[in-house]
Amino acid sequence: MSDAATPGEFELIRRYFMQDVEHACSSDHVSPHQARAGVVLGQGDDCALLAPAPGTRLAVSVDTSLADVHFPRDASAEAIGHRALAVNLSDLAAMGARPRWFVLALTLPDVDAQWLEGFACGLYGLAREHDIALVGGDITRGRELSITITVHGDVPDDEAITRHGARPGDLLAVTGTLGSAHGGLRAWFDGERDEHHPLVAAYLRPTPRTSEGMAIRQMVSAGLDISDGLLADLGHLCDRSGVGARLEASSIPVDQALVASLGAQDALEAALNGGDDYELLLSLAPKHEDAVRQTLETLGGTLHVIGQITSEPGITGVVSTGRGWQHFHASEPSTGATP
Amino acid sequence: MSDAATPGEFELIRRYFMQDVEHACSSDHVSPHQARAGVVLGQGDDCALLAPAPGTRLAVSVDTSLADVHFPRDASAEAIGHRALAVNLSDLAAMGARPRWFVLALTLPDVDAQWLEGFACGLYGLAREHDIALVGGDITRGRELSITITVHGDVPDDEAITRHGARPGDLLAVTGTLGSAHGGLRAWFDGERDEHHPLVAAYLRPTPRTSEGMAIRQMVSAGLDISDGLLADLGHLCDRSGVGARLEASSIPVDQALVASLGAQDALEAALNGGDDYELLLSLAPKHEDAVRQTLETLGGTLHVIGQITSEPGITGVVSTGRGWQHFHASEPSTGATP
């Protein structure tokens, strides 16, 4: 049993992921190693040594991205690198945490210089945008391409956004539009290979809302990111908060490109159940609505109120099903294995 | 593309890995969720929220264990769970860091209750011994069994053991004996399936030296854990410290069971190059030798001096090769992709 790479392969790996590399790719992206705030000791020892900021909590999350489960194997290496980090950054955004450091566990079926360069560009490009530093990693050879990233952020004591603070009477709102990622995945399966296609880009290159989460964390009562789908994630929020919710389907924001691609009915269905959008689902007291909206707009984002938190458990709503208007309940506890 | 497990499968997964489980297995091991010091918010939200101790550095390391690469697929689930965490704890031991929290990314080809129970027992049993709490995870279905663990420890400012502090004149020493894990792997390939066989146990259930690392961190000048093999890891230490080393092969501690199994010559070869021992390789000023030895013996361990740090780069030594005594140099830079 051995995962030994050849010396040349190790040289390649080091070229893209080790700390002495300033420019990992040919674009203007640079290695996140330049952003080393709080890094006492980076790669090259048994552990990274980090200095968390005093007065903060450390926010930690892990997510695995597996070829042909979480992304299409034939997506560009750059998109795969971007997406693998983005879904993790989105967990920090959901807590309102400031991105600090991440570690990367990469399992590769083979060592291909061009693929590694693209992957590093996608990963480092996004890392730089969100000011998060790569501080450790483990690269293994295996049959399946698999990327596991653990992200670390910090958030001042008692300021984290959690899933358990929603209160009856709070407004329910989302950043951005929903359903586009699901539309992009369907377009990909239908043969669309332009990664700049707006729906495909929504799926392959989601934008984690880290700045938004940090900016509004003190104005919202609860929140999480929409990865499983609006209904499923709203279910998680309600379960943890011990509340229910009433959705107004007509208020759910859907991109025009999605409606053009799927039609209004399927677009709404994608928004409700598609998942992979990585927008934030928030609850907030009505008095904070204007301030939250203004803060998000300052950051180039949007806020759409889509319902209300209720004291009765379960999610109710009136949703057009194509067969008419359906009043639905979603009272199942959350089924995700991911915390 | 979906990694969806059935509701029954999620229930199983939750049973073994979620926080409301007190007894994950039938033995007297309990879930590490009881040890929740510093855990502000555990599983069930987008991130865990942790409270690092003031005045400490956070030590972070990630390692992937892949079936038939890092462990035999047909080892017991309990051994697989133990080993996956042990190799990560060993990285904390190598820094002298106190284990605090870990996150688990598990990719499973199928969801099997009996296997999951065994895996959880192995994992939690070791977690409890080392007082480390599971605070997050991600479970995915994939073709290959793969376990990626990110461990977090803390160590007082400026007390961490690193690879870069070795000085000429320091003694070179190891905890425990070397080569047994390699002997165990060979025995396994030869059909030995008794996991309590001393050599097989050395391979499948290594003992991370966390207490030892913490106890001696202020008395040693540098150190790391022996995962790649003594010569390779000594190479890493020398590279990072800008020094060389002279080994005394006759002083390298080898278990009698290994000599009985392989013969003296192959036993020494296993000790030099076999790897997977997860003992600590240390450099220390001669004046600290007695104190370090006494401290380790108090913990039930041993210290064997096996050479000296030199100012000339490269590793030199006199080693019996079977063809006579070989004076060797190992001047290559480290080739491991793992920091």
Residue B319, pLDDT score: 64
Domain ranges in chain B with CATH number 3.90.650.10: 171-329
Between B87 and B4, residue with greater pLDDT? B87
Query: pLDDT-derived band of residue B36, with 50, 70 and 90 as boundaries?
Result: confident
How far apart are alpha carbons A43 and A136 in whole angstroms? 5
Q: Distance of CA B41 to CAs A95, A101, A335, B161, Å? A: 11, 19, 19, 30
Nearest-CA distance A28 → chain B (Å): 25
Q: How confident is the model at residue B26 (pLDDT cuts 50, 70, 90)?
A: very low
Residues forming CATH 3.30.1330.10 domain(s) in chain A: 7-156
Lookup result for tokens 């399927």? A266
d(CA A178, CA A252): 8
Decide: residue A78, CB within 10 A, 0-12 exposed, 13-18 middle, 19+ buried: buried
Mean pLDDT of A280-291: 98
In this model, does residue A6 exceed pLDDT 80? Answer: no
**Chain A residues with CB-CB distance to B50 below 8 A:** 57-60
Residue of A nearest to B335 (CA): A10
A4 pLDDT exceeds 50? yes
pLDDT at B17: 74
What is the SS3 assignment for A202?
helix
Task: Output the known binding site of B for Mg(2+).
Answer: 46, 61, 63, 91, 138, 225, 228
Query: Are B58 and A49 a contacting pair at CB < 8 A?
Result: yes
* Mean pLDDT of the A290-304 span: 98
Structure confidence at residue A328 (pLDDT) = 61
A68-102 pLDDT, tens digit per residue, is: 999 999 999 999 999 999 999 999 999 999 999 99
Binding residue ranges of A:
46, 61, 63, 70, 91, 137-138, 163, 225, 227-228, 276, 325
pLDDT at A332 over 90: no
pLDDT higher than 50, residue B339: no
In three-state secondary structure terms, B281 is: strand
Using alpha carbons only, what angle is made at residue B89 by residues A45 and B178, rounded to the nearest 5 degrees?
A: 80
pLDDT(B34) > 60: no
Reported ipTM: 0.91
- A72 contacts in chain B (CB < 8 Å): 1
CA torsion sign for A328, A333, A336, B3 is: negative
User: What confidence score (pLDDT) does residue A339 get?
Assistant: 36
Interchain pair A339, B57: CB under 8 A = no
- What would the pLDDT profile of B264-316 be if each residue is shown by its tens digit? 999 999 999 999 999 999 999 999 999 999 999 999 999 999 999 999 999 98
User: In this structure, which topology does domain A171-329 adopt according to CATH?
Assistant: Phosphoribosyl-aminoimidazole Synthetase; Chain A, domain 2 (3.90.650)
Predicted local distance difference test score (pLDDT) of residue A186:
96
For range A248-253, the mean pLDDT: 92
Contact partners, residue A166, CB within 8 Å, separation at least 6 = A221, A222, A237, A238, A241, A243, A283, A309
Topology of the domain comprising B7-156: 60s Ribosomal Protein L30; Chain: A; (3.30.1330)
Mean pLDDT of chain B: 88
If you search the block for the tokens 């998680």, which residue do you land on? A236
Q: Which residue did the predictor score with more confidence, B42 or B298?
A: B298
**Residue holding tokens 């905890």?**
B175
Q: Which residues of B176-214 are buried (b: 16+ CB within 10 A; e: fewer)?
A: bbbbbbbbbbbbbeeeeeebebbbbbbbbbbbbbbbbbb
